[in-house]
Amino acid sequence: MAEEQRPSWFQRFLLPGFAFKGVVIGGGYATGRELAEFFLPHGPAGGLLAILVAMIVWSIICVLTFLLARALRAFDYRSFFRGLLGPLWFLFEIAYLPFLVLLLAVFGAAAGEIGAATFGLPMAMGALAFVAAVAAVTTFGDASVERLFKWMTPFLYGVYVLFAVLALSRFGGEAVAAVGASAPGGGWVLSGVTYGGYNLVGAIAILPMLRHLTSAKDAVVAGALAGPLAIWPAFVFFFCMVAFYPAIGAETLPSEFLLRELDLPLFHVLFQLMILVALLESGVGVVHGLNERIAGAYQARRGKELSPRARLIIGAVVLLCSVFIADRIGLVRLIADGYRALALMLLVLFVAPLLTIGVWRLSARRAPITQQA
């Protein structure tokens, strides 16, 4: 038998962070809506500080999650929470499945909003295109998902860098003045922790991407990098937003507002395409995580791998249900009303056990090498 190929440095150190970034960005801050909801109320300076708090939260929790997942050999959320919560693991799944639907509803709503604002398409058409693209990528499992994160990340980062250069050259002075004139509003630490908390679902969704970790050092490096890799576009984007503080907070799509102010039609289309790619990455990360959970249980019970056809059906059904919810509720209400409650769920069933039981398992080296399927 041929020797198994050693994972590349990209798979070990960068892929987890790129995947985490993919789940985080498309859910809202690619459009600026999450940034307006969580950070603008604390003023320009307070918002920037809160974003840095969120980055620290992400890195700490990703390091611990990656370490524990590697120790447990648990690369789907069912196996991971059986190891973390024991017989109470099902409580997480009861809470997580509605969260998953909410996330996909937000992604679908944002895709519909962008399709309508940029290309004049009906809202439903943009959302259905999102459904088709996510289902297509996740049908073929790890290989196609990893290729998406590998090749789309340079495009996404490149567009953000170009946006920063253009935006700061136009209204960077106003942004600097807004930050300099403001004092951090009260509660920015809590907002940073809250925002960081509900986005930690990304650390759970990307568990399948951790199969390539070869050591505890890999887990620590990949986890520490995940926070900065995911947050720096948000920091830059928010800094540009504050040039129009506080009026921009009322915009459904702050990104669309800033692009109108730039008045560069070709870049406008390029940026909106980048947001659609970010939404695609987010949807793929969430649906792939669900598929891997089902695949693990199916393998244990039937002794067979989940077929591409089954993956396609599962993804399509979940996505279509989520898009229907998005159409009924709307993007702003989904983010404002749903995320904070679900952040509390993650803190109770994931973060608190990870910081106690998980840390104890790791420090005592009592994490089992394998988990019962």
- 24-59 tens-digit pLDDT: 887 557 778 889 888 999 999 999 999 999 999 999
Query: With contact defined as beta carbons under 8 Å apart, do 214 and 13 qualify?
Result: no
Find the range with the poorest average confidence among 101-110, 166-175, 294-303: 101-110
CA-CA distance, 194 to 197, in Å (whole number)? Answer: 5
Query: With contact defined as beta carbons under 8 Å apart, do 109 and 295 qualify?
Result: no
Residue 321: predicted pLDDT: 83
CA-CA distance, 71 to 322, in Å (whole number)? Answer: 34
pLDDT band of 3, cuts 50, 70, 90: very low
Residue 367: predicted pLDDT: 46
Which amino acid is located at 305 in the chain? E
CA-CA distance, 119 to 269, in Å (whole number)? Answer: 9
Return the CATH architecture of domain 12-354. Orthogonal Bundle (1.10)
Residue 84: predicted pLDDT: 94
184-199 average pLDDT score: 85
Domain range summary for the chain, segments of one domain joined by +: 12-354
Query: With contact defined as beta carbons under 8 Å apart, do 349 and 85 qualify?
Result: yes
- Model-level pTM? 0.86
Residue 183: predicted pLDDT: 80
370 pLDDT more than 50: no
- 268-313 tens-digit pLDDT: 889 988 988 988 998 998 899 988 989 888 888 888 888 888 899 9
Provide CB contacts within 8 A for 329, sequence distance 6+: 105, 109
CA-CA distance, 171 to 43, in Å (whole number)? Answer: 18
Provide CB contacts within 8 A for 318, sequence distance 6+: 100, 101, 104, 287, 290
Across the chain, the runs of DSSP E, i.e. the strands, are none
60-77 average pLDDT score: 95
Angle (CA) 304-309-313 rounded to 5° is 115
252: exposed, middle or buried (Cβ count in 10 Å: 0-12, 13-18, 19+): middle
Residue 81: predicted pLDDT: 95
